[in-house]
Amino acid sequence: MTRSATGQAITTYFNMISGPRRPGEKDGPREVHLVLVDNGRTQAYADQQLRSTLQCIRCGACMNHCPVYTRIGGHAYGTTYPGPIGEIISPHMMGLAATHVLPTASSLCGACGEVCPVRIPIPELLVRLREEAQHDARPGHAPLLGQGAARSRLVDAVWSGWAALWAALYTRPAFYRAFGWLATRLRALTPPLQGGWTVSRTPMKPAARTLHELMPAARTLHELMAARSKRR
């Protein structure tokens, strides 16, 4: 953790646990009691795929490279272990019924799996837990519409309509630019609640300025910096 999170060569403190003090020794405990907490680890070890999660050395590399964790922070996960590794460890510690939302807090970009020093297949496990969360019945939690579960014909028709509209806009630059311009001007009218999507996510809002508006300013700034570097 110190090398990955703070850049230190070694931790600033450490604990050494030895046995009870021997006859003639003045320091040390008289008795030592070792308590092993399972917390679902035995169950995870029995699974050929989940077994790899127990190899975690808590270096923090997956959290430092996760675009979701760097945006929302660790407290948003509501569990002891945050970040990508927490999304696959917490379900077998607390149960998937209580943590079914955690595996969805990932863009599946694969960065966590690439930087993991012990090669835990985090993206693959996230996909598996998402699938299990959809198929397992959760008392009091209906599957979210639009996520492949409990979808009616009306919902399918709405999603198909949105897909067709987006395809029409995306393939016509003039209409796409006009739609982007209109969306930035009407961002204040974005509803605070957007169905099931906002149960565990921040409501989406269009950017204040479109990419077509930002590019000229960025290009001008780049040209100014290049001109200054030439003068030096």
CA angle 110, 71, 102 (to 5 degrees): 60
pTM of the predicted model over 0.75: no
Closest CA to 203 of 192, 189, 219, 214: 192
**Could you tell me what percent of the chain has a pLDDT over 90?**
26
CA 8 to chain centre: 25
| pLDDT at 50 > cutoff 70 | yes
All CATH 1.10.1060 domain ranges of the chain, comma separated, are: 2-135
Third-level CATH fold of 2-135: Fumarate Reductase Iron-sulfur Protein; Chain B, domain 2 (1.10.1060)
Query: Which of 23-32, 64-73, 185-194 has the weakest average pLDDT?
Result: 185-194
Q: What is the pLDDT of residues 163-184, one digit of tens each?
A: 888 888 878 888 888 888 888 8
Residue 65 has what pLDDT?
Answer: 93
In sequence order, what are the residues at sequence separation of 6 or more whose Cβ sits closer than 8 angstroms to the Cβ of residue 177?
A: 210, 212
| pLDDT at 49 > cutoff 80 | yes
Find which of 65-79, 110-124, 208-222 is predicted with most confidence, using mean pLDDT. Answer: 110-124
Closest CA to 136 of 124, 149, 152, 155: 149
Residue 127 has what pLDDT?
Answer: 94
Average pLDDT of the chain?
82
Residue 142 has what pLDDT?
Answer: 46
Buried b / exposed e along 27-65 (16+ C-beta atoms within 10 A): eeeeeeeeeeeeebbeebeeeeebebbeebeebbbbbeb
